[in-house]
């Protein structure tokens, strides 16, 4: 069963990557172009990049490059999602294939995408000091690792509360996750290197980035659940069909 779930996840992941490309093209790329224009208009950017040779054109980056990256990302994430769905199937009470897939996608989006994003949101070109890229990347991945760890802790707490109802156990798990994330937000250092960058361009870029991630997880949850439910549906041989008079 795990193999079929893995293959299904890879295929759905490719679909999720294609959907994300459409979302990124229409919601993300305009703000990226605006951010690049802001960068190129500054004197510092001209001094830094004026003599550099561009190996890949911006048009290629925004089309073929972006599509390839999102397809690869979607396929990889879809494979992991398929394995996770195979493990979760039948272990979430009476939830069917669609509900299990949707719940897994929601948990993945919140844990992997939303929680790190809210602490360390994505920045477009021209935002941030190049000398602090390593530090900022390290903080982001630290928040991602903590978020995953907190999710595991929340599941552990919910499973330990045998005397409570299923609903109250879920609430306890969610509360545990929220409290731990809040503590991490307070402890980890903030990063504010926006400077005088236009706020409207920054907002559109970040919303486009978040929408792209949301489209990946939504496609995974909906499409994977539908395909799994269809594959699990029993087939009837020799099923009676209504006669049509000619």
Query: How far, in Å, CA of 52 to CA of 40, rounded?
Result: 13
CA atoms within 13 A on the CB side of 219: 27
Phi then psi for residue 180, to 5 deg, are -65, -40
| Cα end-to-end span (Å), the chain | 45
Does residue 31 share a domain with residue 119? yes
**DSSP secondary structure letters along 67-129:** HHHHHHHHHHHHHHHHHHHHHHTT-STT--HHHHHHHHHHHHIIIIIIHHHHHS----TT-S-
Query: Into how many domains does the chain fold?
Result: 2
Q: Is residue 148 situated within a structural domain?
A: yes
Task: Indicate whether 89 and 13 sit together in one domain.
Answer: yes
CB 121 within 8 A of CB 197: no
101-148 tens-digit pLDDT: 999 999 999 999 999 999 999 888 777 777 888 898 999 999 999 999
Mean pLDDT across the stretch 47-52? 50
Q: 244: pLDDT confidence band, cut at 50, 70 and 90?
A: very low
**pLDDT computed for residue 240 by the predictor:** 47
Residues 47, 109, single domain; the answer is: yes
Q: Quick one: 101 and 169 in the same domain?
A: no
Is 241 a member of any domain?
Answer: no
Domain interval for residue 141: 128-193
User: Is residue 240 situated within a structural domain?
Assistant: no
Please check whether residues 117 and 224 belong to one and the same domain. Answer: yes
Computed on alpha carbons and rounded to an integer, the radius of gyration of the chain in Å comes to: 22
Q: Note whether 100 and 189 are same-domain residues.
A: no
77 and 185 part of one domain: no
Please check whether residues 73 and 188 belong to one and the same domain: no
Cα–Cα nearest to 123, from 222, 189, 39: 39
Residue 243 falls inside a structural domain: no
* 8 A C-beta contact, residue 142 and residue 115: no
Residue 223: inside a domain: yes
Report whether 181 contacts 142 (CB < 8 A): no
pLDDT at res. 245: 39
Verify that 49 and 92 share a domain, yes or no.
yes
Give the separation between CA 190 and CA 204, rounded to whole angstroms: 21
237 in a structural domain = no
The H or E element containing residue 151 is: helix 133-160
pTM (whole model) above 0.75: yes
Same-domain check for residues 178 and 207: no
The answer to whether residues 51 and 148 belong to one domain is: no
Mark whether 162 and 223 lie in a shared domain.
Answer: no
């Amino acid at each position: 069963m795990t193999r079929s779930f893995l293959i299904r996840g890879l295929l759905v992941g490719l679909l999720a990557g294609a959907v994300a490309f459409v979302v990124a093209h229409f919601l993300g790329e305009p703000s990226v172009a605006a951010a690049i224009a802001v960068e190129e208009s500054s004197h510092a950017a001209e001094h830094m990049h004026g003599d550099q040779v561009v190996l890949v054109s911006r048009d290629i980056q925004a089309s073929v490059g972006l599509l390839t990256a999102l397809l690869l990302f979607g396929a990889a994430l879809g494979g992991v999602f398929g394995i996770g769905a195979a493990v979760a199937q039948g272990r979430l009470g009476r939830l069917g294939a669609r509900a299990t897939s949707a719940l897994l996608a929601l948990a993945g989006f919140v844990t992997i995408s939303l929680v790190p994003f809210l602490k360390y949101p994505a920045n477009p070109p021209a935002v941030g000091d190049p000398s602090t890229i390593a530090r900022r990347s390290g903080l982001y991945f630290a928040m991602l690792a903590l978020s995953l760890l907190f999710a595991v802790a929340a599941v552990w707490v919910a499973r330990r509360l045998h005397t409570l109802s299923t609903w109250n156990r879920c609430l306890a798990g969610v509360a545990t996750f929220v409290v731990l994330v809040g503590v991490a937000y307070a402890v980890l250092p903030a990063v504010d290197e926006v400077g005088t960058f236009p706020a409207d361009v920054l907002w559109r870029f970040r919303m486009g980035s978040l929408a792209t991630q949301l489209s990946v997880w939504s496609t995974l949850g909906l499409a994977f659940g539908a395909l799994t439910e269809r594959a699990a549906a029993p087939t009837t041989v020799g099923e009676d069909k209504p006669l049509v008079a000619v």
